Structure 1
Amino acid sequence: MPKCTHDKIDFGRMGRRVIEADFSGGDLSSEGGVLLLRRMDQRLGLTAAAAAALGDDRQAGKVHHSVASMVAQRVYGLCMGWADVCDHNALRSDLALQTAVGRDQALASAPTLSRLETAATPAQAWALHGVLLDQFIAIRRGKRAPRELVLDVDATHVPLHGQQERGFFHGYYDNYCYLPLYVFCGQDLLACVLRPSDRDPASVVTALLKRLIDALRQAWPRVRIVVRGDSGFCRPRVLRRLDRWGVDYVLGLQKNARLLQRSELAMLALADQYQARGTKQRLHGDFGYAADSWDRQRRVIARLEHGPQGANPRFIVTSLQGDPKYVYDKRYCSRGEAENRIKEAQLDLFGRRASCHRFWANQLRLLLAALAYTLMIQLRRQALAGTELAQACTATIRVKLLKIAAAIVRNTRRVRVLLASSHPMRSAFASAAQALAP
């Protein structure tokens, strides 16, 4: 293998001078902003709680890297843009990452991190879900109790490119994939359950919601809980159980002949109005409806629309009262924000990297991405309020704030992290560090 570390790289000339580069700069890092993640993590106790949930059944005399340091190393790596464990074969020597994790020697290698993932169990997955939920509750403890919490339930797909356990072909997505189930409350991620793609989209949703609802009501006994989701979750057993638990809901309802028949006259009237005015026409209304498999009649809201593409009726079923237009436009359509959060967790923080063979190892990877998402969301919320990054997505925060060139000088008395003097966001960085000070 060629020794390219110290080889000169020619970048041409600038006037009379030759431009050369090599990798002999010494203890430099591109991860200077990882110290903000360390400070945020210390305030939350996030990776420490995750490590406690995972446990450690290894022989103590043979352990060189604690579970806490490996979880922190992996989560910080995801936040900093390093998707895979193989990246840590080089990152383990990065002095900034070592300092953030709290070690003064090489961090865990890729094989060591892989063993942590491949040893994952279902019990550990549920324990880590408890960490996400505890974080959500703890952050709001001491504040005014919320009057209402809206739980956005949504499913997405994780494509597979190998021989992963429980991987099945899905006709809609036209590939082999998993179908993880996400639950958000606003921007906070409460759960992400990995599921095989041969399951019904609504599988495990009631069991997961019961677990979340019980914990939330224990923390806030008088809180009103609303479950929101698309038509994939509108199943008779889901509706029955939400009614039994006293939980409100607003769920998409698949079109069928009976619903279209109930709306036929209104759609014809909208078509006439469109022909007369030439602009898109929209109408909201509601009526009682019960499918044959339902145990009782429920309120259905119809949003009817006619435009250049013709009729476009949509339906939702809900236990909420109020004006049909308000319930549809403000209460139901707001669920689109959860889709943005899923993209942030999956794309910006690599929640789609299901490259392990074992199913539960891939569930652990999904949860590590969820922990990284929680850390970044709280960094934005608690440290970047009032700055130009207050509404920035995770990828933007990473590129603009966390990726800072730094030289690290380490001796027996101190660790000096010398950040790039010309960094454009130095004032925002200093402000964030001050906001997170003990």
Structure 2
Amino acid sequence: MPKCTAELIEFGRLGRRIVEANFRGGDLSSDGGLMLLRQVDRRIGLTRSAAAALDDARDETRITHSLKTLLTQRIYGLCAGYEDLNDHDRLRRDTLMQTAVGQTDELASAPTLCRLENRATRAQAVALNRVLVEQFIASHATEPRELILDVDASDVPLHGDQELAQFHGYYDHYCYLPLYVFCGQAMLACVLRPSRIDGARHAAATIKLLVARLRQAWPETRFIVRGDSGFCRQNLIRWCERHGVDYVIGVARNKRLHEIVAAEEDRLCTRFEATQTKQRHIAEFRYAAESWNIERRIVTRLEYGAQGANPRFVVTSLKQDAAVVYDQIYCPRGEAENRIKEIQLDLFGTRASSHKFAANWLRLMLAALAYTLMERFRALALAGTELARASAATIRVKLLKIGAAIVRNTRRVQILLASHHPMRETFLIAARALAP
């Protein structure tokens, strides 16, 4: 156990030498990699666009920190692992954080950042969602031939008296139920909702708005909507059919579907009992539920193993072979869940501790912007490196958390990075890729 006296910390001896530490090192930082994020941000204009999308009702003659500075400080802090506003009471004096944000004086305090969140409105959250879409469009040099829009939902646990806090039986706690839309690794929409609703609520309206904007930019692009059985709703499917958008969406199992595949399941059962090897078969048929106005194509994946039958059903407008539809198009849908984990766990999208619903939505949008910054960093600077497919948390630990000393005078700011950092070569590759 180290022995602490005031700010002097004793760590015993190394031979005849006394080992001790204190917090009087001066302008040192543990976040040397933040300068890489600054370069990404300058290239894609993320925080600049976010600030331009929001209204600032403050009196310009009485403010010290611009809206862009506040957003940049908060987003960079999330990327660096500082989820709480209280962290900024000390970070505001961190010379490297100041340099990354673009300031030479103290940054905003925790109360100032808190006031930013408490002034939030739903209109601001909607405006930041538009920023996500514009960032996605700007990330493409040419019109894509096909885009798959993944729609999914998750829970944001609540532990206080937040507005619209409701108990959710499936998750077994009080929570919000945000709706996400991804295209590949890019986030296109993030809609915070109360939890006592249908999980597909607002999905059709969100997809409609997204497709309308994307078609303005890319009129020839083909769109496919993909989701699990929680999004098998007629308003979404019929909208897709009316507007030339393909879909591949899971269908919840029911008695009638089981009856249709019963004969094939019996054959799989017989083969399993004979071989003791799991049996798998993909087939298709036409099906019309009572709520459907027409028959639609159902692709089914049947499995039989030691646990018994395990069928899955997917409704789709696609014309490809059934095995291609299920294995190559529908199954990769699960990758969206990894992206949700990044925003909610790695970038603290679950920190909904404000009382106001709109403030919590803004917090989630800040996490979404931080995710977008990290995703563009991965794409622009880390391609071909060992971190090309790394999560936001891994990138933070291996590339952002670098010890650095900062020497600032009237002519220059020198950032002296740790000489023996193990990711030194990767850092240099990223810095070259992001050079102006």
Q: What's the TM-score, normalizing by structure 1?
A: 0.97
Code of the aligned partner of 1:206? A
Q: What's 1:106 paired with?
A: 106
* Structure 1 residue 55: Cα displacement: 2.2
Aligned equivalents of 1:180, 1:216: Cα separation in 2: 22
Instruction: Report how many aligned residue pairs link the two structures.
Output: 433
Q: CA-to-partner distance for each residue in 1:214-261, whole Å, 9 max, x for gaps? A: 011111101110000000100111111111111100000000111011
Unmatched 5+ stretches in structure 2: none
Aligned equivalents of 2:219, 2:201: Cα separation in 1: 27
Q: 1:281 aligns with which of 275, 279, 282?
A: 279
Q: What's 2:253 paired with?
A: 255
Q: Structure 1 residues 252-261 or 383-392, which shifts more?
A: 383-392
Q: What's 1:60 paired with?
A: 60
Q: What's 2:266 paired with?
A: 268
Q: 1:379 aligns with which of 377, 380, 404?
A: 377
Equivalences for residues 399-414 of structure 1 within 5 A: 399-414=397-412
SS for the counterpart of 2:214 is helix
1:377/1:45 Cα in 2 relative to 1: closer, same or farther (>3 Å)?
same
Equivalences for residues 324-363 of structure 1 within 5 A: 324-363=322-361
Aligned equivalents of 2:147, 2:282: Cα separation in 1: 25
Q: What's 2:208 paired with?
A: 210
* Structure 1 residue 345: Cα displacement: 1.2
* Structure 1 residue 392: Cα displacement: 1.4
Q: 1:300 aligns with which of 274, 298, 301?
A: 298
SS for the counterpart of 1:152 is strand
Does 1:34 pair with 2:34? yes
Q: CA-to-partner distance for each residue in 1:122-149, whole Å, 9 max, x for gaps? A: 1111110110000000111xx3321100
Code of the aligned partner of 2:387? L
Q: 1:198 aligns with which of 193, 196, 202?
A: 196
Partners of 1:34 and 1:80 within 8 A in 2? yes
Partners of 1:129 and 1:190 within 8 A in 2? yes
Equivalences for residues 67-78 of structure 1 within 5 A: 67-78=67-78
Partners of 1:5 and 1:22 within 8 A in 2? no
What value does the CA root-mean-square deviation take over the aligned residues?
A: 1.1
Identity %: 62
Aligned equivalents of 2:50, 2:7: Cα separation in 1: 42
Aligned equivalents of 2:428, 2:275: Cα separation in 1: 57
1:88/1:265 Cα in 2 relative to 1: closer, same or farther (>3 Å)?
same
Q: What's 1:370 paired with?
A: 368
Q: What's 2:390 paired with?
A: 392
Unmatched 5+ stretches in structure 1: none
Aligned equivalents of 1:386, 1:269: Cα separation in 2: 47
Aligned equivalents of 1:63, 1:106: Cα separation in 2: 14
Q: CA-to-partner distance for each residue in 1:253-311, whole Å, 9 max, x for gaps? A: 00011101111111111110111111000111111111111111110111111000001
Aligned equivalents of 1:5, 1:207: Cα separation in 2: 60
Does 1:117 pair with 2:117? yes
Q: What's 2:45 paired with?
A: 45
Q: What's 1:19 paired with?
A: 19
* Structure 1 residue 6: Cα displacement: 5.8
Aligned equivalents of 1:399, 1:348: Cα separation in 2: 11
* Structure 1 residue 5: Cα displacement: 9.7
Code of the aligned partner of 1:128? L
Aligned equivalents of 1:81, 1:361: Cα separation in 2: 20
Aligned equivalents of 1:5, 1:139: Cα separation in 2: 53
SS for the counterpart of 1:263 is helix
Aligned equivalents of 1:218, 1:118: Cα separation in 2: 34
Aligned equivalents of 1:422, 1:61: Cα separation in 2: 47
Code of the aligned partner of 1:55? D
Aligned equivalents of 1:207, 1:198: Cα separation in 2: 18
SS for the counterpart of 1:25 is coil
Q: What's 1:130 paired with?
A: 130
Q: What's the TM-score, normalizing by structure 2?
A: 0.98
Partners of 1:120 and 1:361 within 8 A in 2? yes
Q: Structure 1 residues 51-60 or 247-256, which shifts more?
A: 51-60
Aligned equivalents of 2:99, 2:401: Cα separation in 1: 16
* Structure 1 residue 374: Cα displacement: 0.7
Q: CA-to-partner distance for each residue in 1:171-223, whole Å, 9 max, x for gaps? A: 11110000100100000000111010011101011111111000111111011
Q: CA-to-partner distance for each residue in 1:45-69, whole Å, 9 max, x for gaps? A: 0001001111211011110110000
Q: What's 1:240 paired with?
A: 238
Aligned equivalents of 2:108, 2:6: Cα separation in 1: 25
